[in-house]
Amino acid sequence: MPAADATPRPCAIADALELIGERWSLLVVRELFWGNHRFSEIARRTGAPRDILSTRLRRLVDAGVLEKRPYSNHPPRAEYHLTPAGRSLAPVLMSIQEWALHHLEQPEAGVMRMAHGDHEIDPVSSFACRTCGKALPKA
């Protein structure tokens, strides 16, 4: 609980974490990148409780990170797909994965591997100054 006299710093990171900083939200985005678009697939692959998953999906749709697309009229059913805002979370997921590979035990379990030409993609994050374009050193 924050101290009574705390004055939180205005921060874009804090604002983003309000939406995507909870475990199930980023795991939903991960599953959509992997091509799992239906509620049952997302629930099975994330392990999220159904009530929590419903809430997270609704919040992500309301925030414009996901969109619902109908795939059945009888009964009415919809799939979830990433919007451009959702797709732009790819570097976030890759950076988290890269961090895990360097700092956690057994990091290879569940590493996202996708085809990239004649090999599997092994992304490395990099950051640059928006103003001058110079690469920023890794910590």
Q: What is the mean pLDDT of residues 9-37?
A: 93
Counting the structural domains of the chain, the total is 2
Are residues 94 and 46 part of one domain? no
The mean pLDDT value of the chain amounts to: 88
Q: Is residue 35 left, alpha or beta, with left meaning phi > 0 and alpha meaning psi from -120 to 50?
A: left
Are residues 75 and 45 part of one domain? yes
Are residues 73 and 37 part of one domain? yes
Res 122: pLDDT: 72
Percent of the chain with pLDDT over 90: 60
- The answer as to whether 2 is a domain residue is no
Are residues 96 and 83 part of one domain? no
Are residues 103 and 63 part of one domain? no
Res 109: pLDDT: 62
Q: Which two tokens stand for residue 50?
A: 């159904």
- The answer as to whether 63 is a domain residue is yes
Res 59: pLDDT: 96
CA dist 123 and 139 (Å) reads: 18
Ranges of beta strands (E only) in 3-129 are: 66-72, 77-82, 115-116, 119-120
Domain of residue 14: give its range: 9-87
pLDDT tens figures, 32-84: 998 999 999 999 999 999 999 999 999 999 999 999 999 999 999 999 999 99
- The answer as to whether 48 is a domain residue is yes
Q: Which of 47, 71, 87 is the last residue of a domain?
A: 87
Banded pLDDT at 108 (limits 50, 70, 90): low
Distances, alpha carbon 34 to alpha carbons 8, 12, 54, 108, in Å: 36, 27, 19, 17
Whether 1 shows a pLDDT value over 70: the answer reads no
